[in-house]
Every structure is written in C-alpha cells, then in structure tokens.
Amino acid sequence: MGEALQAALTERYDALSASLRDRLLGFVLSAFDGLSSLRDADAVEFLDRVVPVIVSTQAQMGQITDAYLSAVMADMLGTTAAPAGVELPEALRGVPPEEVYRRPFVQTWTELADGKDFLDARSIGRNRLLSITETDLQLARTHAAQQSMTRGGAKFFRRRLNGSKNCALCTIASTQRYRVAELMPIHPGCHCKPEPLPGDRDPGQIIDEQLLKEAHDAVARGIGASDAGGRAPDYRQVIITRQHGEIGPLLAVRRQSFTGPEDIPGR
C-alpha cells in the first residue's frame, strides 16, 4: 500500500470514528446527568431517549469501518473500492440494548443499598455507563471489520494502535497477527482498529519484533524485569484472551475474571 494513501485513509477514518464516539458519549452522559433522579421512571425515560441514538451510531460506525477497510483492501489488490455495507444486530452482545443500558441504574441502586451516598453512587453508575457505551461502539467496529475483511478475502489482520498513548495490553497485542475468522479481542476503553494484512500466507505470530522489544524494554524500566522470550515473566501467560459471555474475545491479564449468574446473590 502507498504510504501517502494509507496515511490519508487512516487519518480520515480516525477522525470520523473519534467524532462519532465523542458525540455519542457526550449525548449519553448528558442525558444521564440531566435526570432529576435515578428511579425506575427515570430509567425508562433515559432508555427511550438514548437507545435509538446508540443503535444508530453503532450502525454508522459499521458503515465507516466498512468504507475504510474496503478502500484499504482495494488498494492492496489494485481494484476499485466497493463497500457493500454490513449488517449489525441491535443486540451486539446478544442481550437487548434496553437491558444493557439499564445496568448503570442497577449499579447506582446497588451502591446506594451498600451505604454509598447518592453522589458517589451516581458517579459509579455514570462510569459504568461510559464503559458500556465505549465498549459497544468498539464492538460495532470489530463486528463490521470482520464482515468487511471476510467479504474482501482477507485471511489475517493486525490491530492498529490509535493515537500516541496506548495501554500495554494493546501495545503488545498489536505486535501479533490475528485471523479474520476470529473477532479482534478488545477491552473496555480500547480504541484500536483492525487492519488487514496483505496476502493469504500466514506471516507468523509476531509481525512487529521491534515494537514488541520496545514494549518489553518499557516493562523492564517500570518493574525491573522483562524477557521477550517469555520466561521471566511469561507474557504469553500474563496477557491473554478470555471469552466474555457477551462481548466475545476480551484482552485481559491472567488474574482477571468475570462474574456469572452463579455470582449473583439470590440466583
């Protein structure tokens, strides 16, 4: 791919996706902050107002992702870009969005029942709303990317970092190749984007040795120990992909775990 075209496509896509994300977050958080209270009736009012906008914005994220990746793959193959569109379900998690976006209210009520004052409980619920909204928009990106790359005949992809500041999970994961048949692993707050790799020959697990070395060097400066060979510590065991029941593949460290129905009192 020509570097100038690649840079132009990436810049445009990053600007559009960041604008979508910022507008949606601003709208959803403003709607939450504007509620007079957080009772059942307020939750119903909130859901009626925000869910249609959330679903619409997720669809827009799918459309611009398809257009971006179609242009990238067309340039790789020397053909004309022809985005065919993607189909994203309203329930990206397999759970109705009304149920998902009621959870910040449930979180707030739980914190109040545990003795938190209203402002603290509301803040915790608001943070839950922020995380859910960001994660769902990233899910729209990854689901659309998988459809677009599959249609374009790509077999492998990488995760492209976004911006000048990225977490260690994303940085190390960006040095690996992934198979298009599998969704890109994400984590809450993740803004990475999938990018197809040219050809259908497996390039091998590590595709950016230099960045991986730099990441290990940074870890070594921070904790005084690093080993890119995976012995002390073994990063292949520390940074892993877990299967989340709703989100799908999720980047995590081994000590992280997820709750399930058996962890909920009274269930």
The parent domain of residue 71 ranges over: 1-153
Last residue of a domain, one of 153, 178, 207: 153
What total number of domains does the chain contain? Answer: 2
- The tens digit of pLDDT for each residue in 112-152 reads 999 999 999 999 999 999 999 999 999 999 999 999 999 88
Q: Please tell me the distance from the alpha carbon of residue 24 to that of residue 47, in angstroms, as a whole number.
A: 14
| Helical packing angle, 118-152 and 3-33, nearest 10° | 150
- The tens digit of pLDDT for each residue in 49-90 reads 999 999 999 999 999 999 999 988 888 877 776 777 899 998
Same domain (yes/no): 51, 109: yes
Same domain (yes/no): 35, 121: yes
38 φ/ψ angles, rounded to the nearest 5 degrees: -125, 40
Q: How many CA atoms lie within 13 A of 138 on its CB side?
A: 24
Same domain (yes/no): 232, 264: yes
Q: Please tell me the distance from the alpha carbon of residue 84 to that of residue 63, in angstroms, as a whole number.
A: 9
Nearest to 14 by CA among 138, 183, 131, 162: 162
pTM: 0.80
Same domain (yes/no): 14, 119: yes
Instruction: Read off the tokens for 22.
Output: 């910022």
Q: Please tell me the distance from the alpha carbon of residue 109 to that of residue 125, in angstroms, as a whole number.
A: 9
Query: Which H, E and C letters describe 39-84, residue by residue?
Result: CHHHHHHHHHHHHHHHHHHHHHHHHHHHHHHHHHHHHHHCCCCCCC
